[in-house]
Structure 1
Amino acid sequence: MSITNLPYDPRMRERVQELRHKMTPMEKKLWYSFLRTYPVKMYKQRPIRTFVADFYCPLARLVIELDGSQHYTEQGMQYDMERSAVFEQYGVQVLRFRNQDVSAHFEMVCEQIHEAVVKRLEELERGKEG
C-alpha cells in the first residue's frame, strides 16, 4: 500500500460526496482559511475503510478531526475511539480539535496542525533512513 492510498469501501463514495458538499461551518472555516492553501497537500472528507476523516494529509499520514457536541456523548466517544483505532492501524495519526477551539482559537489550531505536520514529516523521514 502506498503512502497516499488507504483502503476504503467503494460504497462510501456517495456519503463522501455528500459530506464534501455539506461541510460544517467550522470545517469550512478551517478548510477555506487554512488547509486548502497549506503548502503540504490536504484532502477534505477522505474515506478510510468505512469511515470518513474530516481532513487528511497523506504525506504526513495525519487525520484532522473536528468534534462537535455529538462527539462528547458516550456513544460518540466510543465511535471516535473505534475510528481512531482503524486510522492508527494504517500508521495514521489522529489530531482532534473541538469546534469551539476552531471558532475561538483559530490561530492556535492552525499552529498545532502545522507543528503536527512538520513533526510527522520528520518522523516519517527518519523512518525511511533507518
Structure 2
Amino acid sequence: MKIDLQLLVFAKTMRTNATDAESLMWQLLRAKRFMNLKFRRQHVMAPYIVDFYCHEIGLVIELDGSQHGTVDAIEYDAERTKFLEALGLKVVRYWNHEVLSQADFVLENLWEICLKLKDDK
C-alpha cells in the first residue's frame, strides 16, 4: 500500500505546529510513558491523519478544538470515525480544553480504555 507523499509531508508539518493540547498530550504519551505503550503522533491512515495512534492495542486518540463543534465537522468526524472503526480501531475523542484543564480526568479515562483494549488482545 503506497502512502500519499503529500499526506506524509502534511503530517510532519502538523507535528511541528501542534496545538497546546496536542503538545501536552504528546508529553504524557511519548517514549512509552503511558502504560508502556508506544504512541505515534500525526500518524497517516490514508486518507486521514490521526492525532495519536497506538498500533499495539489499535487505539486512535483525537483531540478536538471548538471548530469540531460545527454541524459539518460533526458529520465529517463521524464519517472519519466510521472509517477507522471499519479498520478494527477504537477511536476516542477529547476536547482540547479537557486535556489542558483536566488532564488527570483524561488520563484516568484513557487508562481504563487502554486496559480494556489490552485485555481484549
Task: Provide the TM-score with structure 1 as the length reference.
Answer: 0.85
1:106 CA displacement: 0.6
Partner of 1:68: 65
Describe the shift of the 1:7–1:70 C-alpha distance in structure 2 as closer, same or farther (beyond 3 A).
Answer: farther
Match runs of 1:3-42 below 5 Å: 8-32=3-27, 34-36=28-30, 37-38=33-34, 39-42=36-39
After superposing on structure 2, the runs of 4+ consecutive aligned residues of structure 1 that deviate more than 3 Å are 6-11
Letter in 1 for 2:86: Q
Q: Relative to structure 1, is the Cα distance of residues 82 and 69 closer, same or farther in structure 2, using a 3 angstrom cutoff?
A: same
CA separation of 1:72 and 1:7: change in aligned 2, threshold 3 A? farther
Whole-Å separation in 2 of the counterparts to 1:17 and 1:24: 14
SS of 1:70's equivalent in the other structure is helix
Which secondary structure state, in structure 2, belongs to the residue aligned with residue 71 of structure 1?
helix
In structure 1, the partner of 2:55 is 58
Instruction: Provide the secondary structure at the position in 1 that maps to 2:56.
Output: coil
Partner of 1:127: none
How far apart are the structure 1 equivalents of 2:82 and 2:111?
Answer: 23
Structure 2: where are the runs of 5+ without partners?
none
Change (3 A) 1:119 1:17: same
Contact 1:7 1:48 in 2 (8 A): no
5+ unaligned residues in a row in structure 1: which ranges?
Answer: 1-5, 125-130
1:9 and 1:117 map into 2 onto residues whose CA distance is 30
TM-score under structure 2 length normalisation: 0.91
Give me the CA root mean square deviation: 1.5
Q: Deviations over 1:46-85 (max 9, x none)?
A: 1111101100011110000111001000111111011101
Give the C-alpha shift of residue 16 in structure 1.
Answer: 0.6
